Amino acid sequence: MYVAVKGGETAIEHSLELLADRRRGDRDVPELSLRQIDEQLALAVDRVMTEGSCYDRELAALAIKQARGDLVEAIFLLRAYRTTLPRFGDTLPIDTARMVAERRISSTFKDVPGGQVLGPTFDYTHRLLDFALMANGEHPAAPTAPVDTTNDLPRVGDILEREGMLEPPPSAENDAPAQDITRTPLTLPASRPVRLQNLARGDEGFLLALAYSTQRGYGNNHPFVGEIRFGAVPVSFVPEELGFAIEIAEIDVTECDMVNQFAGSHDVPPQFTRGYGLAFGHAERKAMSMALVDRSLRAGELSENATAPAQDEEFVLAHSDSVEASGFVQHLKLPHYVDFQSELVVVRTLRAEVEARLQQAAE
């Protein structure tokens, strides 16, 4: 019996072998290639890149394959890799007005400069299982309209802002580079750049539930989708030895600008306020949830009554990370028999004392 708790080393080795075997599954079924995952499970790749804070489609695909499709596990794999990478410097902020948008919608105006572009979306699909996909039928290529790559695509928010209807983007406290939350510990209260980083890395399910709660009265902030856009933006970097910016990459991002009512106060006339969301790849649910929660967390700054969970900065920021949450919840699987033994000893003692008292009372 005592031997059963020994032999951990062999047990771990066997477990790893079993896991590798299960990952591969039936050898008669062809192995997935990373390209297949990247191309055909692209939204899973997008989520892993976003919450893994690392834009690399191939590595994200590898993580998904290794994690057997468990996206939270894949995010963990990518993060643990990312943390070992050397830092060369910070890129310049991306300019989403320069986006080559594949999709762009606004729910605040019927038409906007640059137009409403539906693009690829699940929004108007009927959720009927497509049995044609079961038969491996090839789908013909979709007709594509020529995309305007010459002109900037003005943001709806900027148009409202010029009119004074929408507040200017809340600026960072100062011009210092934003603190990197993967290198320095969180201190509270947090600056908005820190909050936004935290939310960008935050678990989509957690943010979705919080965002949803604000729509059900737990911290209502009367949101409208100012704009959602998805497409490619250039990334630029200023190498110290050159002293000017060079374009080093192009990445796909989804951006969401929420426009929220604000009643105004004694000194400030009523105005619309902003909530902002950004995610790698195509991830509208994530970007919208992030934007709603961002706006909720601005309650203090806008002198609103902060009473709901989604307005509680410490609660939200401390619990948004799936890698932290998953690790700590699952650590309960580790042996705790020393602590449990301590509890057994004291509970037995307390029970004996109570029973003795009851006995005495009965006599």
Partner 1 sequence: MPDGAYNYAYLDEQTKRMIRRAILKAVAVPGYQVPFGGREMPLPYGWGTGGIQVTAAIIGRDDTLKVIDQGADDTTNAVSIRRFFARVADVATTTRTEEATVIQTRHRVPETPLKEGQILVFQVPIPEPLRMLEPRETETRTLHALSEYGVMQVSLYESIARHGRIAKTYNYPVLVNGRYMMSPSPIPKFDNPKLDRNPALQLYGAGREKRIYAVPPYTPVKSLDFDDHPFEIERWTECCALCGSRESFLDEMIVDDEGKRLYVCSDTDYCQERQGAQAQGKEAP
Q: Which is nearer to partner 1, 83 or 151 (CB)?
A: 83
* Sole binder of partner 1 in the list 36, 182, 265, 303 (CB under 8 A): 182
Residue closer to partner 1 (CB basis): 212 or 328: 328
CB atoms within 10 A of CB 30: 7
CB of 319 to partner 1, least distance (A): 11
- How many residues touch partner 1 under the rule CB under 8 A: the total is 49
Chosen residue from 45, 59, 62, 76 binding partner 1 by CB under 8 A? 76
Interaction pattern, residues 77-116, with partner 1; x per rule: CB under 8 A: --xx-xxx-x------------------------------
Tokens representing 66 are 């290794």
The pairing of strands 246-260 and 223-237 is antiparallel
Give whichever of 110 and 333 is closer to partner 1, judged by the CB atom. Answer: 333
CB of 206 to partner 1, least distance (A): 15
* Residue 7 vs 270, nearer CB to partner 1: 7
Q: Any contact of residue 353 with partner 1 (CB under 8 A)?
A: yes
Close Cβ partners of 195 (under 8 Å, ≥ 6 residues apart): 294, 297, 313, 317
| Dist. CA 45–CA 64, nearest whole Å | 7
Contact set for partner 1, span 233-252 (CB under 8 A): none
Closest by CA to 273, choosing from 168, 154, 361, 360, is 168
Q: How far is the CB of 60 from partner 1 (least distance, A)?
A: 15
Nearer to partner 1, 58 or 123 (CB): 58
Q: Which of 304, 130, 296, 113 is nearest to 202 (CA)?
A: 296
Nearer to partner 1 by Cβ, of 133 and 334: the residue is 334
* CA distance linking residue 107 with residue 227, whole number of Å: 7
Q: Which is nearer to partner 1, 273 or 322 (by Cβ)?
A: 322
Amino acid, single-letter form, for residue 327:
G
Task: Please say whether the beta carbons of 75 and 205 come within 8 A.
Answer: no
| Alpha-carbon span 238 to 89, nearest angstrom | 9
| Rounded Cα–Cα distance for residues 70 and 155 (Å) | 36
Instruction: Catalogue the E-assigned strands of the chain.
Output: 100-105, 223-237, 246-260, 273-280
The reply on whether position 307 binds partner 1 by CB under 8 A is: no
Sequence-separated contacts (24+) of 267-272 with Cβ below 8 Å: 271/164, 271/165, 271/166, 271/167, 272/160, 272/165, 272/166, 272/167
Cβ closer to partner 1: 261 or 326?
326
Interface pick for partner 1 out of 93, 143, 185, 269 (rule CB under 8 A): 185
Q: 246 - beta bridge partners?
A: 237
Q: Is 20 in the site for partner 1 (CB under 8 A)?
A: no
Applying CB under 8 A, which of residues 142, 176, 188, 361 lies at the interface with partner 1? 188
Residues 308-347: x where in contact with partner 1 by CB under 8 A, - otherwise, as a string: ------x---x----xx-xxxxxx--xxxxxx-xxxxxx-
Site residues, partner 1 (CB under 8 A):
1-2, 5-9, 11-12, 76, 79-80, 82-84, 86, 182-189, 314, 318, 323-324, 326-331, 334-339, 341-346, 349-350, 353
